[in-house]
Structure 1
Amino acid sequence: MLKWMVPAGKKLWKDEDGLGTLEVLLIVAVLVIIAIAFRKWIFAWIEKVFGESNGQLTNTGSLNTCTDPTKTYPNC
């Protein structure tokens, strides 16, 4: 397994087309490190956003379908 991995790794390191991949991996690594460092703040912000949206959803009124005199509904 190492017989083909070592030459492939060397080829990727020398190949300039692989440089874009390396840059993307470094950016992802930095983003992951930032996310880990600020995870408590991120989770608190997400809970706040979802809590506010949940509060807005529960405070909306319901449509009263029993007011239409032309129709009969079983639970009205």
Structure 2
Amino acid sequence: MFEDIKRFAYEEDGAAGVEYALLLTIAAVVIAAAGVVLGPLVKATFNSVITGLGGTAVP
């Protein structure tokens, strides 16, 4: 029984899952932050192109 407990304590499969979840969370936060920062810049660029082509800019 103690061997099973020792093996469970040294098992690293669960730790790898936690690490992947942490990596995915960090990636999601970075992508969301990039969207917030780059969103207005992209909108301004598209509005500039639309206006240049004779269209009406999106508010």
TM-score using structure 1 length: 0.37
More helix by share: 2
Higher RCO, Cα 8 Å, sep 6+: 2
